Structure 1
């Protein structure tokens, strides 16, 4: 695969995860909606990583800030805050004790507000890949 094909791959799989995140939100499964929204951001950051690095395979990390730090992106303070906030919905949310606490946090209003912010960040990441 070419570098551009890798980038397109990450973009395509992120779109499927965004669709899943929205379906989960609409069905009332707010925690899993945010888990999939994290995957969207992770995959788009991996596309940016591929664009900005000589290798085509990004690091195997779920940490959005680590991925961001290895790109040439210049996020706003709000985008940095969002990426940091979204890190709590990565791998740790798969563990039951952590998950119980996250269910309390992931209310309908909290999730809805975050998804709006995420949508803006998705647009910013897509623009950086154009």
Structure 2
């Protein structure tokens, strides 16, 4: 195994571990009923999984962006319409949880039921992305 491949794998392992940690934090925040930040960390989990996939598939660091559709495209993953819509919705969690003028409205939207539905979607997307680690 050459040095460049080893570094790509090390970078990927780092991002995959970070993705797992972000999902764990999202779960803790769900338990505390802090739904908007739970969804923010759920977004981070997918973003970090995609950045790990980028390291493996492209052999270099992922671009420093947070748009999940753009990251998936940079990785080379083909998205269907449902996946594109899901990633766009999840990308919004990053923006809406961070900016004060959007945060208020987003928090009102983040009921226990809404957050649980979105976390289920995030877990589904993460499992699908993990299947791309070896293909």
Runs of 5+ unmatched residues, structure 1: none
Change (3 A) 1:107 1:92: closer
Q: Which stretch of structure 1 is more off in the superposition, 1-10 or 88-97?
A: 88-97
Residue 78 in 1 paired to residue 82 in 2? yes
SS in 2 for 1:11: helix
Q: Deviations for 1:89-129, whole angstroms, at most 9, x for unmatched residues?
A: 11452121110011011111111011111111111111101
Contact 1:62–1:91 (CA under 8 A) maintained in structure 2 = no
**Partner residue of 1:33 out of 30, 38, 41:** 38
TM-score normalised by L of structure 2:
0.89
Q: Trace 1:89-108 onto structure 2 (pairs within 5 A).
A: 89-108=93-112
1:26 and 1:76 map into 2 onto residues whose CA distance is: 32
Contact 2:96–2:106 (CA under 8 A) maintained in structure 1 = no
1:7 is matched with: 12
**Partner residue of 2:26 out of 21, 26, 37:** 21
**Partner residue of 1:128 out of 117, 129, 132:** 132
1:58 and 1:34 map into 2 onto residues whose CA distance is: 22
Query: Root-mean-square deviation (CA), in Å?
Result: 1.3
2:68 is matched with: 64
Runs of 5+ unmatched residues, structure 2: 1-5
